[in-house]
């Protein structure tokens, strides 16, 4: 039986990774964009679905699954033909895939937020938080630069959803003023990634949803 999928997402949020994964899976889904600037993620209707008020949240036959890591692993296991991770029958390799996913979600993601939205991390002067966020970002971006020395993608010759999560992280870091100009392999990774049809489809879907919501407000 084909599951009914509904994704709650927000403009430029890490839900772009989930959108890209869903586009790659090719399974029909509905998307519902929340305008966070208007507090829609904290509205009672959405909190009844996800009490944490966070995106992405994926409804699977009416049941809510939150956190990118959990959603992406479920999608990878449910739609193995999509190739969100390299194929494997090894429990060790699956654990390594999860390790990489958690590294981006629990490492990169907080650094991006500290750099992009430091006021969320302090009630005082946000600039020291932004400065520290950029320092920490410099370390993980250098790790990515070094990792790409002999490969175009994180796992080698082929794209995986880890590449999309990394792309989301460093492009959102740029919004906060972090530059990847000193990282030529990361720049090449970005150029190759932004040419992928699954990402272009995801961004187009997000843009269409945003346009509808903006039209509703006018």
- Separation CA 167–CA 197 (nearest Å): 15
Q: Taking the model in full, what pTM does it have?
A: 0.96
Residues 64-100 as b/e (b if ≥16 CB within 10 A, e otherwise) read ebbbbbebbbebbeebeebebbbeeeeeeeeeebeeb
What confidence tier does 218 reach under pLDDT thresholds 50, 70, 90? confident
What confidence tier does 193 reach under pLDDT thresholds 50, 70, 90? very high
Query: Which pLDDT score is estimated for 71?
Result: 98
Question: Tell me: the pLDDT tens digits for 77-114?
Answer: 999 999 999 999 999 999 999 999 999 999 999 999 99
What confidence tier does 216 reach under pLDDT thresholds 50, 70, 90? confident
- Separation CA 204–CA 218 (nearest Å): 21
Query: Which pLDDT score is estimated for 217?
Result: 81
Query: Which pLDDT score is estimated for 1?
Result: 65
SS3 36: helix
Q: Which of 117, 106, 116 is nearest to 140 (CA)?
A: 106
Residues in the chain, how many?
218
At 35, give phi and psi (nearest 5°): -90, 100
The side-by-side arrangement of strands in the sheet containing 57-60 is 30-33, 5-9, 57-60, 63-66
Residues 201-216 as b/e (b if ≥16 CB within 10 A, e otherwise) read ebbebbeebeeebeee
Region 51-67 average pLDDT: 97
What confidence tier does 116 reach under pLDDT thresholds 50, 70, 90? very high
């Amino acid at each position: 039986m084909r599951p009914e999928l509904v994704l709650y997402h927000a403009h430029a949020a890490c839900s772009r990774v989930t959108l890209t994964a869903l586009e790659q899976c090719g399974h029909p889904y509905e998307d519902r964009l929340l305008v966070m600037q208007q507090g829609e993620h904290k509205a009672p209707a959405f909190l009844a679905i996800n009490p944490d008020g966070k995106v992405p949240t994926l409804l699977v036959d009416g049941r809510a699954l939150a956190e990118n890591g959990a959603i992406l692993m479920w999608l990878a296991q449910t739609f193995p033909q999509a190739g969100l991770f390299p194929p494997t029958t090894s429990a060790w390799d699956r654990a390594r895939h999860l390790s990489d996913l958690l590294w981006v979600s629990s490492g990169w993601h907080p650094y991006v937020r500290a750099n992009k939205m430091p006021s969320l991390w302090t009630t005082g002067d946000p600039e020291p938080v932004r400065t520290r966020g950029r320092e920490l970002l410099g370390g993980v971006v250098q790790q990515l630069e070094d990792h790409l020395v002999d490969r175009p993608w994180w796992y080698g010759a082929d794209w995986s959803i880890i590449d999309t999560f990394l792309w989301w992280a460093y492009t959102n870091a740029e919004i906060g003023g972090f530059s990847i100009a000193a990282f030529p392999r990361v720049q090449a990774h970005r150029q190759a990634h932004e040419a992928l049809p699954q990402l272009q489809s995801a961004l187009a879907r997000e843009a269409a949803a945003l346009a509808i919501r903006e039209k509703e407000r006018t």
